[in-house]
């Protein structure tokens, strides 16, 4: 891979981005630093025993030491990381602001620092999901300018920590994938302007929750696994890290879904958060020709009312998402 196009060099060739290329370069330089630092830490995670802390986060979920550490990596990276002045994370109850970075041209980064952290102790797939929104001039300490639809995102992406570490992002001018050269310590262009296949042959879902779903969601899964013909011969591929399951859809097509749960004790709005999980990956899906839907409406048209708001998700190839909606998967 040595001698390939680095992330920094590739960014300088971009045009038609949703933010000035100079700002894009500054922000992605910090993201690249975060990615390399987390990659190194995960290589040692099995030795360090990064299990649960005994605490729960604002979502009522058990917190792993790695989650807290990953959140601090972001806070450290952007402490003096103008033009980002605000950070919203799965691991923080409230937004974090660096007033020294706040100017008329500043941004907010929203992120899940360690996606799929329950996989840590079994050496499973992990990721980091992020999005960037522009802050309004003279925005102050409020976040009304951030609680806007996903169409206002200027950057969306994720880092996948697999056999190779990959960084996938879009700034409104297509989806590009970079792979970490561990010798150089830099991300090198792997695929440019990626297009998601319009149809796939796999689906990803926690099928153990099927008894809690709307009837339409159960019928949809029954249909795509009926084996009546090639169009209904889908195979289940699910690893428990949203970024990793989406990555398969991006490259090979298919659908990822996390339905709402209508049974007593279930998750009535699903599990995944709109602002730093669903909206970023929906932007990537659309930039690649796919779709992200709640089962009823386009994810990117939703404006959050709270930073940790959840919604059901059906995301992936355009054909599969449309098929899911035709089954009235969310009632």
Q: What is the mean pLDDT of the chain?
A: 92
Rounded alpha-carbon distances, angstroms, from residue 31 to 84, 282, 290, 297: 11, 19, 25, 31
CATH of the domain at 242: 3.40.190.80
Determine the straight-line distance between the first and last CA of the chain, rounded to whole angstroms: 49
Domain-terminating residue out of 168, 191, 214: 191
pLDDT at 46 over 60: no
Q: Are residues 15 and 43 in the same domain?
A: yes
Whose structure tokens read 């404006």? 303
Q: Are residues 165 and 212 in the same domain?
A: no
CATH of the domain at 149: 3.30.540.10
* Tens of pLDDT, residues 195-220: 999 999 999 999 999 999 999 999 99
CA atoms within 13 A on the CB side of 78: 28
Q: Are residues 34 and 168 in the same domain?
A: yes
What pLDDT is recorded for position 123? 79
pLDDT at 239 over 80: yes
| Residues 151-168, mean pLDDT to the nearest whole number | 96
Count up the domains in the chain and report the number.
Answer: 2
Domain that holds residue 42: 7-191
CA atoms within 13 A on the CB side of 52: 8
Domain-terminating residue out of 144, 162, 191: 191
For residue 29, give both structure tokens.
């330089």
Q: Which helix (H) or strand (E) holds 220?
A: helix 215-224
Rounded alpha-carbon distances, angstroms, from residue 57 to 27, 89, 90, 262: 27, 11, 8, 24
Q: When comparing pLDDT for 43 and 97, which is higher?
A: 97
What pLDDT is recorded for position 76? 97
Q: Are residues 169 and 227 in the same domain?
A: no
Q: Are residues 180 and 229 in the same domain?
A: no
Q: Are residues 212 and 116 in the same domain?
A: no
1 inside domain: no
Q: Are residues 42 and 112 in the same domain?
A: yes
61 inside domain: yes
Return d(Cα 51, Cα 67) in angstroms, integer.
10
Q: Are residues 120 and 67 in the same domain?
A: yes
Beta bridge mates, 256: 204, 315
pLDDT at 51 over 80: no
196 inside domain: no
CA atoms within 13 A on the CB side of 42: 30
Q: Are residues 210 and 154 in the same domain?
A: no
304 inside domain: yes
Model pTM score: 0.94
* Tens of pLDDT, residues 106-139: 999 999 999 998 887 777 899 999 999 999 998 8
Q: Are residues 229 and 169 in the same domain?
A: no
Q: Are residues 71 and 187 in the same domain?
A: yes
Q: Are residues 175 and 251 in the same domain?
A: no
Domain-terminating residue out of 157, 191, 225: 191
298 inside domain: yes
111 inside domain: yes
167 inside domain: yes
| Residues 156-181, mean pLDDT to the nearest whole number | 97
Q: Which helix (H) or strand (E) holds 47?
A: helix 21-48
| Residues 159-185, mean pLDDT to the nearest whole number | 96
239 inside domain: yes
């Amino acid at each position: 891979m040595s001698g390939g196009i680095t992330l920094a060099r590739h960014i300088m060739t971009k045009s038609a981005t949703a933010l000035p290329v100079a700002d894009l370069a500054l922000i992605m330089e910090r993201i690249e630093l975060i990615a390399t630092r987390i990659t190194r830490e995960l290589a040692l995670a099995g030795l360090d025993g990064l299990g649960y802390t005994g605490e729960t986060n604002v979502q009522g979920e058990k917190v792993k030491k790695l989650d807290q550490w990953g959140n601090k990596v972001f806070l450290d990276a952007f402490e003096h990381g103008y033009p980002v002045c605000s950070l919203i994370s799965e691991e923080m109850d409230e937004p974090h602001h660096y007033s020294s970075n706040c100017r008329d041209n500043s941004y907010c980064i929203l992120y899940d620092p360690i996606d799929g952290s329950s996989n840590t102790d079994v050496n499973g797939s992990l990721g980091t999901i992020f999005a960037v929104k522009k802050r309004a001039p003279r925005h102050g300490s409020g976040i009304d300018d951030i609680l806007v639809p996903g169409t206002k995102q200027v950057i969306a992406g994720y880092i996948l920590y697999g056999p190779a570490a990959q960084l996938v992002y879009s700034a409104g001018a297509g989806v590009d994938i970079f792979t970490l050269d561990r010798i150089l310590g830099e991300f090198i262009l792997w695929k440019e302007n990626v297009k998601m296949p319009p149809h796939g042959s796999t689906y990803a879902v926690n099928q153990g929750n099927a008894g809690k779903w709307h009837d339409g969601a159960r019928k949809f899964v029954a249909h795509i696994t009926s084996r009546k013909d090639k169009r209904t011969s889908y195979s289940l591929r699910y690893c428990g890290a949203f970024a990793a399951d989406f990555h398969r859809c991006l490259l090979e097509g298919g659908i990822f879904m996390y339905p709402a749960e209508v049974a007593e004790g279930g998750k009535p709005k699903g599990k995944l958060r709109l602002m730093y999980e669903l909206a970023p990956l929906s932007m990537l899906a659309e930039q690649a020709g796919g779709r992200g839907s709640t089962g009823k409406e386009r994810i990117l048209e939703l404006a959050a009312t709270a930073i940790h708001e959840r919604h059901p998700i059906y995301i992936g190839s355009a054909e599969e998402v449309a098929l899911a909606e035709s089954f009235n998967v969310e009632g």
